[in-house]
Amino acid sequence: MIRLSKSVVGKAESETVAHIIEDVGYLGMGATVGEFEHQLEQYIGGDRRAICVNSGTAALHLALQAVTKPGDEVLVPSFTFVASYQAITAAGCKPVSCDIRPDTLTLDLEDAERRITPRTTAMMPVYYASNCRLEEQYQVFAREHGLRLVEDAAHSFGCTCQGR
């Protein structure tokens, strides 16, 4: 048997989930999730909204589906988790693998620029290991090339980058 990962769920988490299942009855859109979303909004700050989904893959899928149409191409780093490719294809789009920078292990913009075609409508950088140093460069690149930017920041949630 090969284990990929092991859940880290303690007694408090188990009791909370049991309470929600047994007493509240709403698993996805109940008051507990609403309270959690509100706490996330407070943590993030500003006028940003938090909407919970069942996984990071689902979040990427929905974000891509909101800004692309089937058949569009999406630039994505070749060094990423399979969820990046799953989300792109689930949205009906074609992933376009780009090289990564050896110093950051993130999407290489020079290679990405070479891969742009008339069907390229979005890019999805992945902030691997909380590395969001290129965030502003990605924003400029997307703006210059008329691309929608969907940032996979699963690795960087809660970190600080460039003083933010």
Pairing of strands 120-123, 73-77: parallel
Taking only the tens place, the pLDDT of each residue in 23-40 is 887 776 778 888 889 999
Encoded tokens for 154: 């699963």
pLDDT in tens, 106-155: 999 999 999 999 999 999 999 877 777 778 899 999 999 999 999 988 87
For residue 46, the SS3 value is coil
Separation CA 9–CA 130 (nearest Å):
23
Three-state secondary structure of 77-146 = ECCCCHHHHHHHHHCCCEEEEECECCCCCCECHHHHHHHCCCCEEEECCECHHHCCCCHHHHHHHHHHCC
Residues 6+ apart with CB under 8 A from 157: none
DSSP state of 152: B
